[in-house]
Amino acid sequence: MRDSLSSDTVVVGVGNTILSDDGAGVHAARLLQGDPRVPAGVTILDGGTLGLELLPYVSDASRVLFLDAVNSGEAPGTRTRMTGKDLLETSGGCSVHQLGVADLIAALALASAGPQDIVVLGVQPANTDWGTSLSPGVEASLTWLVDAAVAQLRQWKESA
């Protein structure tokens, strides 16, 4: 990753790809990196398990899209879309990570240069045990995750 980004729109896939479904956000970000539908000028990052270390990469962006495994308590593969504010208002932040996206969003409120439009797209994991493959339900939801990310990016581009 670079120390600074020139892009005003950043997509961050987070998660651990050796903990099965926990890596859904990273897998989706990798698919987006080669997707011709992504508008020009968007930076896509594999945020892995960096947590708060991602702060310098997203603090200057006006729009940040997080892709993640989100524990909504629903059936595996259930899709979630929420704003950064929505995520902060939920108990525990819904992340399957110990230090999750909600913590990063809270830090962004303090460190960002101006107001940010933050959206979180995620899928309910079925399995976060050791393994490098996604469960069938989460694998099936990756297409939705990528399509929803492209739709959000296009919406932001049109409103800019």
pLDDT (tens digit per residue) in 20-48: 999 999 999 999 999 999 999 999 999 99
Backbone φ, ψ for residue 118 (5° rounding): -120, 130
Could you tell me the domains of the chain?
9-159 (3.40.50.1450)
pLDDT (tens digit per residue) in 51-96: 999 999 999 999 999 999 998 889 999 999 999 888 777 755 555 5
State the alpha helices, DSSP H only, in 4-135. Answer: 24-33, 55-58, 84-89, 101-111
| Beta carbons within 8 Å of 30's beta carbon, 6+ residues apart | 13, 46
Rounded to two decimals, what is the model's pTM? 0.91
